[in-house]
Amino acid sequence: MRKAINKRVPAGKHRLPPLPYSYDALEPVISEDTLRMHHDYHHKAYVDGLNKAELAVAQARKEKDYTFISYWENQLAFHGSGHILHSIYWTVLAPPNAGGEPRTNTLNEINRRFGSFDNFIEQLLAATTKVEGSGWGILVWNPAWNSLEILTAEKHQNLTQWGAIPILVIDVWEHAYYLDYQYKREEYVRKILGIINWDEVERRLLLAINGKLPLYPEV
């Protein structure tokens, strides 16, 4: 299991975290080709974009020239959120022999909020499948009222409740599924829901409940 890492990362020094398994570990749900491109190219682009934005903002500060600040603020939100969500996405997926049902605390909180595990899955499937354009389905813990909630994100950064902590995230950008599922986004989400690493979800939820997050797999 991944250790809690809470390093301070200086501006411009983010690095792509390694996948916690081999590129073919999620087959047949996610092909080796998809996983390799998704991690090595797409996730890396968000890490690079975040570093670039942080350094640009630092340079603007130094030069006292804020002509392009709104552009760089947009880039910080987009690439920073993309890096965070992808880092979580890899860790909450497990090889196909994992899956099954949530662990004790996760199941208790799901029942409390959604009434039953089936209700939860139905809502998560519907909400995630129906994200407009590129985005994410996200199970969050909201410490403001101590509850799970299902939220979605358009792109990586739009639509949230501030302070909400992502516990389980599902990428529904086309790059996550198009090679393997083409337009069948719902089928991809269904398959993903069958390979969730519920041990990791439980670990993240317990940390969140105990005020130990934000805690992302930074390197």
In the complex, which residues of this chain contact Mn ion (CB under 5 A)? 42, 171, 173, 176
Residue nearest to Mn ion according to CB distances in the complex:
171
Q: Return the number of the residue (112 or 175) whose C-beta is nearest Mn ion.
A: 175
Closer by beta carbon to Mn ion, 171 or else 202: 171
Q: Is 17 exposed, middle or buried (0-12, 13-18, 19+ CB in 10 A)?
A: buried
Q: CB 60 → Mn ion: shortest distance, Å?
A: 28
* Comparison of 88 and 148: residue with beta carbon closer to Mn ion: 88
Pairwise CA distance, residues 130 & 136, whole Å: 10
SS3 at position 197 = coil
CB of 124 to Mn ion, least distance (A): 18
Beta-strand runs (E) in 57-164: 135-142, 147-154
Q: Minimum CB separation from Mn ion for residue 38, in Å?
A: 6
**Residue 166: which residues within 8 A CB-CB, separation 6 or more?**
84, 85, 88, 138, 139, 140
> Looking at residue 39, what DSSP letter applies?
I
- Whole-number Å distance between alpha carbons of 177 and 164: 26
Classify strands 135-142 and 147-154 as parallel, antiparallel or unpaired.
antiparallel
Nearer to Mn ion, 171 or 180 (CB): 171
Nearer residue to Mn ion within complex by CB, 164 or 176: 176
To Mn ion, the closest distance from the beta carbon of 101 in angstroms equals 26
| Dist CA 4 CA 73 (whole Å) | 28
User: Closest distance between Mn ion and the C-beta of residue 183, in Å?
Assistant: 17
